[in-house]
Amino acid sequence: MTLWTITERIKMHHQDHHGTSTPPSTSTPPGGRATLVTLDIVVLVVYFSLILGVGFWSMWRTKRSTVDGYFLAGKSMTWWPVGASLFASNIGSGHFIGLAGSGAAVGIGPIIYEWNGMMFVLLLAWIFLPIYISSGVTTMPEYLQRRFGGRRIQLFIAVLSLFIYIFTKISVDMYAGALFIQLALQWNIYLSVVLLLSITAIYTVAGGLAAVIYTDAAQTAIMLAGSLVLMGFSFAKVGGWNALMEEYSKAIPSIRVPNSTCGIPRDDAFNIFRDPVNSDLPWPGVIFGQSIPSMWYWCSDQVIVQRSLAAKTLTHAKGGSLLAAYLKILPLFVIVMPGMISRMLYTDDVACADPDLCKEICGNPVGCTDTAYARLVMELLPAGLRGLMMAVMIAALMSSLTSIFNSASTIFTMDLWNNFRTRASEWELMIVGRVFVLLLVVVSVLWLPVVQASQGGQLFIYIQTVSSYLQPPITVIFFMGFFWKRTNEKGAFWGLVIGLLVGCIRMLLDFIYPAPLCYETDDRPLVLKHVHYLYFAILLAFITLIPVVLGSLATEAPKPEQISRLTWFTRLDPVEPQKHVSLVEQSTMALEEMKSQTSEVGVRESEQEGGNRKVRRHSKDSSSYVQNRSRLISALYWLCGMERRMEEEDAPVVPPAPAVNIQSLDEKPRLRHIVNANLIIFLSIMSFLIGYWA
């Protein structure tokens, strides 16, 4: 059924109820919805060619045959690709669909989630990153293993991170991207997703983090260009800035449930700080409650931190964070406000308030605000520009997915596989990292029916709530590990377990008792009815903090090697050869030495005697080689970064020196002053923006 047919039914429905007709919202003329034409397809083909070109170029110029080269891009990135990648990893297709939909539904309030992140991406570079760099870690679970010893916290966080990635980030971005593709191309949703994931997997598997970061930089340019163009068309269509401010409150659908608030815009639609008791975003919860999940996401989540660790120096990492922070000002103007304009232009469709009608329009009885951005693209833009915006949505989807795939494979390889296969060669780690990406692609496709069934209506609401229930305990563990030297493994572990248990109980209650619709009475349990999820995040942080403090004080203090260069106060300690090897690894190593390892493809491992386990894992040259390779096999090895120089085959293997390979915290004074001055300028801009819209 076309949108024009639905609009006609709205008019008839309205006449039946009120006897008179209200002018319908702007909609597609008879003949159906606008679709992509040849020019749009050409733009899409050019886009895909560009992205694959950038991916292969980055593969050619970077060393992908080592752990550092594949997972940390050889720690050689400059500030601009780091900043662009931070932004692109964060702004997925879920933002274009969900944030614009939230803007259509409740006004500019949800932008505070983005602006809250601006502060924390800066805290990452100035406060947290120096600790990660001084500790010489590759993954966040690895930092916890170094800081607390043992491996149960490391494994716990690694598994939890993979769970969060697969069931929140991947599912949301895939749903949003598939929704848009289905709307624009009328393709089968599975065909769309499989095609996208296949292209995404090619350069993620082959190129590692370097390919992901460089393609993210290209995706960011495309996203900004396309979204700025659509913003211009949107404001021109609605009559400019003043028209948006004055007319948004009048965008009420002609059919809605009587004697209810359904379909009526909020009075505080243009405020980001709202009533502390009765609003959807209470201001104390926004300031304090939202900051707790934000600290996890921006300061200790593998997807984000991995990009900053790839910077060649600390100054470049700071520059990247500043660029990402400046870019995060834009979503208010290029995503949220166009979503609000979409409500004004297509009020009866986007802001539908009758469940039966919403089900007819977009298949979702909860509401159709999630279609706001896609409607603008397909209705407002001319041929060619529709293809560009299609590329923008695909860019947002692919940049998020590649980031998650690469980071998830890093965590699986370095924290899970390497814990159980402690004698794994560097060659084996590279193969496992790539295979795990392919496994994630399969899981993503299999997860799609679940995402489809949820229909997205509650999905975006649940993303913020899930963050508030699962992330505060992790935030507390990292924060205490950074800033309280007395925190030990027992206190951290039991704080984490108790906090996650309480959070999961609240999350289950949320799924069992969903929030009522605008015309329904709220008969949920009191803890759901009166404790907003942002307030619950604050409460959960304190619930986690108590066992961390009491458990740490009641048990033995951490060893010196668990403190040196692993906290804010000890980050500048002199570098000493340390045995960053867990007890489990030590016992497993003795057993593994007795096993003779052979390879199915003729891969020969050369044994290394002594030496530090962690250092051997990061060694620049793998000790494996393959004999008598055909040209096809050689090409395949090149694609995956497994190339070996011929002269290395006869070269003796030299054990690495027992030293820790750690990036320097030194900064050139002139560059340090430049980034610090930019920090002050940005904080001034941020204060003005928040003050203006508060």
Q: Which tens digit of pLDDT belongs to each residue from 30-78? A: 334 566 788 888 888 888 888 878 877 876 766 555 655 555 556 778 8
Least confident of 252-256, 315-319, 469-473, 516-520: 516-520
- As a whole-number percent, the residues of the chain with pLDDT over 70 amount to 76
- Check pLDDT > 90 for residue 553: yes
Q: Which residue has the higher pLDDT, 307 or 612?
A: 307
Once rounded to an integer, what is the mean pLDDT over residues 562-577?
86
- Check pLDDT > 60 for residue 155: yes
Are 564 and 578 in contact by the 8 Å Cβ rule? The answer is: yes
Residue written as token pair 């159709």: 368
Once rounded to an integer, what is the mean pLDDT over residues 205-227?
78
645-677 pLDDT, tens digit per residue, is 333 433 443 344 333 344 567 888 999 999 999
Top mean-pLDDT range of 88-92, 601-605, 651-655: 88-92
156-182 pLDDT, tens digit per residue, is 888 888 888 877 777 777 777 777 777
Residue written as token pair 């090697």: 561
Average pLDDT, the chain: 77
Query: What is the number of helices (H) and of strands (E) in the chain?
Result: 33, 0
- Check pLDDT > 50 for residue 29: no
For residue 196, CA distances in Å to 48, 87, 181, 448 come to 10, 20, 10, 13
Rg, the chain, Cα only = 26
Are 455 and 364 in contact by the 8 Å Cβ rule? The answer is: yes
What letters, b where the CB count within 10 A reaches 16 and e where it falls short, cover 93-105? Answer: bbbbbbbbbbbbb
Q: pLDDT band at residue 336, thresholds of 50, 70 and 90?
A: very high
pLDDT value at residue 163:
81
pLDDT value at residue 332:
92
156 SS3 class: helix
Are 373 and 342 in contact by the 8 Å Cβ rule? The answer is: yes
